[in-house]
Amino acid sequence: MKIICIGRNYAEHAKEMNSPVPSEPVVFMKPDTALLRNNEPFYYPDFTKDLHHEVELVLKISKAGKHIEPGFAHKYYEEIGIGIDFTARDIQAKCKEKGLPWEKAKAFDGSAPIGGFVNKSVFKNLADIRFRLDIDGKTVQQGNTKDLLFSFDVLISHISGFITLKTGDLIFTGTPEGVGPVKPGNRLQAYIENDKLLDFEIK
Ligand code: ZN
């Protein structure tokens, strides 16, 4: 399986990063070795001094497809989950400065903790799903899919024009504003609506 991530998909986050709002989805990838499951602890890597949390809704692809029309994209995922796109912000800043790829800042081991998934049928409106991240009991990021620049269906259509999607692939759909540093000892808890789906510690 593969993990496809979307950058700058919420205007307020693009603004806090001093990045322009994109005219088409910004796409990057993480390898399967980035996955961290079952609320296992994340070990703070020694190559960064500025590790940031980015809480994101995650789509699980349920059927293989390519060149998917936006109108059919909803048939390619059944479940929505929540995850963290851990980012070594200091390394990313250096990559950006030199125009280099972001993988060292984004794709390292354990950089994609994911929690449980919920069937999308439980949501009345996929364009109005609230989600959030709490650190040590305090809410640090809150998002709502109504603020997505590119909807789930548009993302699936766009990505599948370049890369064949396969069953089990994950799409991290972008982070809302409020990204910031984590440190050893922090406990991260992520919620979709009032459902706690991810709960782990930084060590
Ligand atoms: Zn992200």
Identify whether the C-beta of residue 135 lies closer than 8 Å to the C-beta of residue 55. Answer: no
Residue 89: pLDDT band with limits 50, 70, 90: very high
User: 69 CA to middle of ligand 1, Å?
Assistant: 24
The pLDDT assigned to 31 comes to: 98
Q: φ and ψ at 138, to 5 degrees?
A: -115, 130
Ion ligand 1, residues whose Cβ is below 5 A away: 54, 85, 175
Give the separation between CA 10 and CA 31, rounded to whole angstroms: 24
User: 55 CA to middle of ligand 1, Å?
Assistant: 7
Identify whether the C-beta of residue 37 lies closer than 8 Å to the C-beta of residue 60. Answer: no
What CATH number matches the domain at 3-201, 3.40.830.10, 1.20.1630.10, 3.90.1150.10, 3.90.850.10? 3.90.850.10
Average pLDDT, the chain: 97
Residue 98 contacts by C-beta under 8 Å, 6 or more apart in sequence? none
Identify whether the C-beta of residue 172 lies closer than 8 Å to the C-beta of residue 83. Answer: yes
Give the separation between CA 83 and CA 112, rounded to whole angstroms: 7
Q: Kindly report, residue by residue over 44-87, the tens digit of the pLDDT.
A: 999 999 999 999 999 999 999 999 999 999 999 999 999 999 99
* Structural domain spans, the chain: 3-201
H-helix segments, 88-180: 89-98, 103-106, 152-160
Identify whether the C-beta of residue 70 lies closer than 8 Å to the C-beta of residue 155. Answer: no
Q: What is the mean pLDDT of residues 5-24?
A: 93
Q: Kindly report, residue by residue over 143-153, the tens digit of the pLDDT.
A: 999 999 999 99
Q: Kindly report, residue by residue over 112-142, the tens digit of the pLDDT.
A: 999 999 999 999 999 999 999 999 999 999 9
pTM of the prediction?
A: 0.97
User: 87 CA to middle of ligand 1, Å?
Assistant: 8
